[in-house]
């Protein structure tokens, strides 16, 4: 995993492309989105190229989320309009990922902003939820390293 030629986010991480940076360390860079959902919209990006979430080592992913957490807290103290914060990670074209380099969107929310997610938000019955949970547990088992239920009960 390294820099990918032709990747805009890798170019930003290398300092070869322009960005309005709000955080940078040896592993992660965070900068303002060119097409912000709301003023204060920041992208948190691992410097090492990872096209999708599957390609991102867990340790580096945790670092991306740690930086995003700090940025979310900073947005609330920034003086920008911020009544809430969304963290949004799009993984793959079907999830609306536009640039094939993992990035976590952090943006302030407020009453009347124009961001919307439209979905079928209906309550599901327990049998459907249990079947879906079983499928997810199967996927976790395939990863190895365990995959309990999260309630102290083996999966």
Give me the residues paired with residue 29 across strands.
24, 45
DSSP line for 87-131? EEE--SGGGT--SSS--EEEEEE-TT---------PPPPHHHHHH
Q: What's residue 153's pLDDT?
A: 45
For residue 117, the model assigns a pLDDT of 86
Q: What's the pLDDT score for residue 150?
A: 53
Domain edges within the chain:
8-109, 121-155
- pLDDT value, residue 154: 47
Burial class (CB in 10 A: 0-12, 13-18, 19+), 90: middle
Q: What's the pLDDT score for residue 122?
A: 92
pLDDT lower than 50: segments of the chain: 152-155
CATH superfamily of the 8-109 domain: HIT-like (3.30.428.10)
| pTM for this predicted structure | 0.87
């Amino acid at each position: 995993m390294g820099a990918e030629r032709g990747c805009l986010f890798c170019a930003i991480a290398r300092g070869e492309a322009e960005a309005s940076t709000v955080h940078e360390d040896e592993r992660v860079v965070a900068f303002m989105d060119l097409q912000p959902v709301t003023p204060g919209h920041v992208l948190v990006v691992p410097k090492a190229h990872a096209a999708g979430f599957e390609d991102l080592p867990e340790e580096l992913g945790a670092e991306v989320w740690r930086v995003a957490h700090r940025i979310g807290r900073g947005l609330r103290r920034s003086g920008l309009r911020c009544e809430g914060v969304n963290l949004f990670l799009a993984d793959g074209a079907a999830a609306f990922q536009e640039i094939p380099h993992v990035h976590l969107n952090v943006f302030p929310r407020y009453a009347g902003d124009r961001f919307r997610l439209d979905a079928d938000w209906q309550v599901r019955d327990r049998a459907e939820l249990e079947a879906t949970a079983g499928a997810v547990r199967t996927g976790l088992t395939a990863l190895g390293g365990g995959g309990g239920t999260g309630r102290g009960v083996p999966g």
